[in-house]
Structure 1
Amino acid sequence: MNLSLHEEPVNTKTPTTAEFSCRVDQNLKLNAEYFHLYLDAPEVALKALPGQFFHLMCPSSELGDPFFRRPMSIYKVDKVQRKIQFLFKNAGVGTNGLSKLNPEEFLNIVGPLGVGFTIPNGTRHIIVVGRGVGLATLAPLAEMASQKGVQVTAILSARRLDLLMSSERFRSTGAEVIQVHDEDNSSAVENIEILLRQLNGDAFYTCGSNRLFKLIKRLSKELNIFGQVALEQQMACGIGVCFCCVRTFEINGKNIHKRVCSEGPVFDVCEATGW
């Protein structure tokens, strides 16, 4: 299905980016691996768009001192309570430091940064497919789509059912939620492909899994369906200066290099390449 690519102004960069110190409101341990962080936010942070990210100065922990900031996509912007939320996995020196944050402590962050998601005019039904912390990136997109009257189906993937997060977050947006995991093989690519072909969506979005990205890319090309991927990438500066996060893209038969932090992290799924 061909859709207009004259997008609504939902993936424009916010006009201002700032560095600020945010008070920790809550830092909840969700399961053996994941945490849900709530920060009090100034006005500029509340302007973050779905798909954008912040650069967090992670505190030191028993594992060491993080040298660089860590990029983290926004999980939720709560303009009523004036808070921003992040969902992260305790997986290294930086995120281990984040996991130790207590209420009333402060965290230095920079943002909002990057380019967010686009919903083409005329879209009726989007399908988001995410795994792990990729679900955090896709949740605000589901919320935005629902607010625009667009039907949302969310396929949420995890290694185990007990590690599968964000189901209620997606349901609260009005999305239909389909849970898949490795233990019963429901998350296998061939099973996800069957679902995608049956759901009759007119836009695909993905984050958090290279195999799911490759599937979405193949189906977007085959079915001529608009698709976007939010790329996960190590970064240093987060503002496009250091060229640490450059990835290769396939555009009009040529290999083009782009910076994930400033030209993304959201890209046309048919132009992005895997790893």
Structure 2
Amino acid sequence: MTRIDDTFGRLKAEGKKAFVAYIMAGDPDLATSLQVMKGMPAAGVDIIELGLPFTDPMADGETIQLAGQRSLEGGQTLVRTLDMVREFRRSDAVTPIVLMGYYNPIYSRGVDRFLAEAKEAGIDGLIVVDLPPEEDSELCLPAQAAGINFIRLATPTTDDKRLPKVLQNTSGFVYYVSITGITGAAAAKPADVAPEVARIKAQTDLPVIVGFGISTPEAAQDIAAIADGCVVGSAIVKLVGEGRPVPEVLDRVAALAGGAHAA
């Protein structure tokens, strides 16, 4: 059992949906992103998705690409990101943290070394968007063995033939990408998402969380109502990029969380 499993168990018992919030580690600087991160649980965030900056973020739209650039220009690295998690864990041993990014920085660190450091720092799950199921032996299976959930993405183009392959070694939850394309590119449509969530849930007992294209409390409520919860990323990252004060960012996070929890 990981913190992710514990969190979904608690939410299910309470009859609540999960609100997952994404920020980019080190954006616009380490101190600010850590301050936002530390304020998220009190704002209603159930699971924190922490972006690991990378030079070629192929799944990300402009908002998150720019966040990654700011982070890298500020000197953010994988090591500093894990240090950020360690600092967060000094005051919060409960809130799950999912590290989301690309394989290159992990590969460069060395898988065994990275997993040992990530587990020790307090990482609970990984989303690595450029490692397909055919590469599960690279990171997915070693991560599971280390006690870290490996969360897979399903998309509108994941057909019935492909879906079992996507699900076979997934743990923690399934992340359903609500739109075809990059982050922040379009709005999620409940009428399109609902049958896809039902299709996935027919093949797995894992929670299904929907992300991409959710930017308002109303959208968070509508999407969470047809899934086990929702993810908001670009709408939060955009505020950080605009230089909004941390309290203002957290107020918006709280409003979005309120939408999801009202589902």
TM-based fold match above 0.5: no
Q: Please identify which structure carries the higher strand content.
A: 1
More helix by share: 2
Q: Shorter-chain-normalised TM-score: which range?
A: 0.3 to 0.5
- The higher relative CO (CA closer than 8 Å, separation ≥ 6) is in 2
